[in-house]
Amino acid sequence: MQKTDMEKIIEFTGYKKKDFSVCLGCKICASVCTLNDFDMHANPQGLLLKIFLGDNTVTDDPLIKNCVSCYRCTDACPWQIRIPEVVRAIREILEYSSPFEKAFKGSISIWGRVYEPYIFMNAIGFLMKNGYLKHFMKWTEYISFHLPRKIKRI
């Protein structure tokens, strides 16, 4: 990463370069990361190390493409390092938006809130391409349970 990129990360997250050095290297963040079910190379601690060392391969890190910003890594971190915010800063620098992020922002701009069917319909191409559509039946059970029911007239 270039110096200007590091400055953008610092500006976006509120961290300074020395704040990344407090990472103990315990990899608790990696053990709780939801991406490890899909990609064993997802390692938030490794991403921080790459940023701290100025490694240019940070753009190829699986977290940049796939992080869902669940903040489980932050909750588990002894120093409460907010890795999802670092990932978002890198995405801003790279001008990258995940399909979910695009659908999420679209839902907010249209309805002023998250509307799950809209997000699903906008992300269906991504889901089909990556084989996640096998979970469709579970999703329809979930969404039918959460849709409003008609009220009986008295």
pLDDT tens for residues 96-152? 887 778 888 888 899 888 888 888 788 888 878 878 777 777 767 766 665 555 555
Residues 6 or more apart in contact with residue 32 via CB below 8 angstroms: 72, 73, 75, 76
- Interatomic CA distance for residues 148 and 135, integer angstroms: 22
Among the listed residues 77, 69, 135, the one whose alpha carbon sits nearest the alpha carbon of residue 105 = 69
Residues 81-96: what's their mean pLDDT?
Answer: 88
pLDDT average, residue stretch 39-61 = 84
Determine the pLDDT at residue 142.
65
Position 154 scores a pLDDT of: 58
Nearest to residue 40, comparing CAs of 51, 50, 31?
31
Q: Is the pTM of this model over 0.85?
A: no
